[in-house]
Amino acid sequence: MSAATGATEARVELVDADGRATGTAPVTEAHLAPAARHRAFSVVLHDGAGRVLLQIRSSAKERWPGYLANSCCGHPASEATLIEDARTRVREELGITVETLTEVGRFEYQAAMPDSRWEEWEYDHVLVGEITPDTPIDPDPSEVSAFAWVAGRPDDGVPHAPWLAPVIDAAADHVPGFRGSETP
């Protein structure tokens, strides 16, 4: 429980190398060095015409602020609730309702955020969904500082979140017309 708010901190599902649940931990604790391996999801939204929606994470974020990332990411309560939790997170972060998300891959990565106490050790489920290009996007400014549709791998000078490249690798073949095989 947070002393300041009286609220219980969200928890992440800890997993082994095969993605089997082994317990839970508070989100903050799982991301402090040394990080604990935990379940995560990364959503890639596309427009059906070869473009994917990317975001720049808000400068208000504790972990990886200002970094370019996929459409949305988060931590499910469990593998059983993965898709519904991801749909909820898309609504919270981007103000979009996504009817269908499909899991297209899984990977594990570890990364330490420069000049911080934060680390990632995630068993990440990559989910892909389609929205129309005219779908109104209303991002929560505490989560997202900017967003853009891109037709290929980004090479724009903005620092990339450490999970972005493997997420794009997993999603590229499932996004019609995406130029995902280009080397960044």
Q: Which residues are catalytic?
A: 73, 122
* Contacts (Cβ under 8 Å, ≥6 apart) of 42: 70, 72, 73, 124, 125, 126, 127, 163, 167
Partners of residue 104 on adjacent β-strands: none
Amino acid at 63: R
Smallest CA-to-CA distance from 71 within 49, 48, 95 is with 95
Angstrom CA distances, 58 to 34, 55, 62, 147, stand at 24, 9, 9, 10
Cβ–Cβ < 8 Å for 164, 70 = yes
Angstrom CA distances, 169 to 23, 49, 122, 149, 160, stand at 29, 18, 16, 17, 14
Cβ–Cβ < 8 Å for 82, 132 = no
* Contacts (Cβ under 8 Å, ≥6 apart) of 104: 126, 127, 128, 170, 171, 173, 174
